[in-house]
């Protein structure tokens, strides 16, 4: 991938006690040089990567010259989650890691880059969960913490879905395709499907158009993602929990210096808005600068990648 840079983290010990003599962390940088402008770190979603903007950038509508996160005004960083397959990097035993380990690797990488403070720490889906983990470890890290369609824990619903994903990945004849098809049912909504497909058929293939669409997304992922990478990312999604070792979310929120902006999607069937509302109700009793924003959309979890104008309106209050 053009523009990918590398940081080597030496002698990294995971929370489980496994020691890696060296872990390569791949990242991309956009906009101003480090040290010349406020820094924004954006953590990618499950099958995303650090290509935040530019050719094949997954958030071009939000990040770039003249966009709401303006690369003329900010240094924008994106780290690839280790094991996500970028530059061929995968791990044989994902169980050695949890999202707190990934957060620690990101923090170590920021230290290597001599980045002491972030203007904003943003993440979508699992990226937002890792943003929570980073802030739990380093509560003075950023001015604004913005987890989008994310949570600080894997609740029972997330655990159930990652459990099913794991079984599909282990048992299917077409594991990546079938896991992706199942995942798309949690990333979108019945209303989104109904509004788009209206029970229409693809007569050439003898299938409903919703079926051909799901097959397309399964095939598309299988062509660009590896099975090991998907297994790793699914495992990490199941591992989210900032309350490890008896830590309490109340204390964690109380200690975070940043303004916390929770961004939920009213139709999200994956990281449901109910969980963010619980966190907000809990948080506002102990922290003045915690805010709840909700995107109204029929498109479900993926709305933060679709409803760009609504996303811009929320971020405009911060940027």
Average pLDDT on 69-95 reads: 97
Point out the domain boundary residue: 218, 236, 254. 236
103, 195: one domain = no
Q: With bands split at pLDDT 50, 70 and 90, how would you rate the model's confidence at 307?
A: very high
- Asked whether the predicted pLDDT for residue 87 surpasses 90, the reply is yes
222, 279: one domain = no
194, 223: one domain = yes
Q: Provide the CATH number for the domain around residue 280.
A: 3.40.50.1820
- Asked whether the predicted pLDDT for residue 1 surpasses 80, the reply is no
Q: With bands split at pLDDT 50, 70 and 90, how would you rate the model's confidence at 2?
A: low
Q: Which domain holds residue 197?
A: 157-236
Q: Provide the CATH number for the domain around residue 205.
A: 1.10.1740.110
- Asked whether the predicted pLDDT for residue 286 surpasses 80, the reply is yes
Q: With bands split at pLDDT 50, 70 and 90, how would you rate the model's confidence at 317?
A: confident
Say how far apart CA 193 and CA 170 lie, in whole Å: 28
208, 143: one domain = no
Among the residue ranges 2-11, 129-138, 215-224, 299-308, the one predicted with the least confidence is 2-11
Quick one: three-class SS letters along 61-89? CCEECCCCEECCCCEEEEECCCCCCHHHC
Q: pLDDT averaged over the chain?
A: 97
Question: What is the pLDDT, as a whole number, of residue 132?
Answer: 98
Q: With bands split at pLDDT 50, 70 and 90, how would you rate the model's confidence at 199?
A: very high
147, 255: one domain = yes
Average pLDDT on 220-236 reads: 97
Question: What is the pLDDT, as a whole number, of residue 290?
Answer: 98
pLDDT digits (tens, 9 = 90+) for 23-42: 999 999 999 999 999 999 99
Average pLDDT on 131-148 reads: 98
Average pLDDT on 154-159 reads: 98
What global pTM score does this model have?
0.96
Question: What is the pLDDT, as a whole number, of residue 106?
Answer: 98
Percentage with pLDDT > 70 across the chain: 99
- Asked whether the predicted pLDDT for residue 16 surpasses 80, the reply is yes
284, 139: one domain = yes
Task: Check: CB of residue 280 under 8 Å from CB of residue 292.
Answer: yes
Point out the domain boundary residue: 191, 221, 236. 236
User: How many domains, in total, are found in the chain?
Assistant: 2
59, 33: one domain = yes
- Asked whether the predicted pLDDT for residue 135 surpasses 70, the reply is yes
């Amino acid at each position: 991938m053009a523009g990918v840079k590398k940081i080597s983290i030496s002698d990294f010990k995971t929370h489980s006690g496994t020691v890696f003599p060296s872990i390569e962390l791949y990242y991309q940088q956009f906009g101003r040089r480090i040290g010349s402008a406020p820094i924004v770190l954006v953590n990618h979603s499950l099958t995303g990567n650090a290509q935040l903007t530019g050719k094949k950038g997954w958030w071009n509508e939000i990040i770039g010259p003249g966009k709401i996160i303006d690369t003329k005004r900010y240094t924008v960083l994106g780290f690839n989650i280790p094991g996500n397959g970028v530059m061929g990097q995968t791990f044989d035993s994902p169980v050695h890691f949890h999202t707190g380990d990934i957060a620690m690797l990101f923090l170590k990488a920021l230290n290597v880059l001599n980045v002491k403070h972030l203007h904003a720490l943003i993440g979508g889906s699992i990226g937002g969960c890792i943003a929570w983990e980073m802030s739990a470890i380093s509560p003075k890290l950023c001015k604004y913490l913005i987890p989008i369609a994310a949570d600080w824990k894997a609740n029972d619903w997330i655990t159930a879905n990652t459990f099913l994903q794991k079984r599909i990945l282990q048992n299917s004849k077409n594991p990546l395709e079938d896991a992706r098809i199942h995942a798309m049912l949690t990333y979108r909504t019945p209303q989104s499907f109904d509004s788009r497909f209206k029970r229409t058929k693809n007569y050439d293939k003898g299938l409903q158009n919703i079926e051909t669409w799901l097959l397309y997304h399964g095939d598309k992922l299988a062509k660009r993602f590896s099975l090991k990478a998907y297994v790793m990312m699914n495992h990490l999604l199941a591992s989210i929990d900032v309350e490890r070792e008896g830590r309490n979310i109340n204390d964690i929120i109380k200690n975070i210096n940043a303004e916390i902006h929770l961004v939920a999607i009213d139709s999200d069937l994956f990281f449901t808005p109910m969980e963010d509302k619980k966190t907000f109700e809990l948080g506002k009793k102990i922290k003045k600068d915690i805010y709840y924003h909700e995107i109204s959309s029929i498109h479900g979890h993926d709305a933060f990648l679709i409803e760009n104008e609504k996303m811009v309106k929320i971020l405009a209050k911060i940027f």
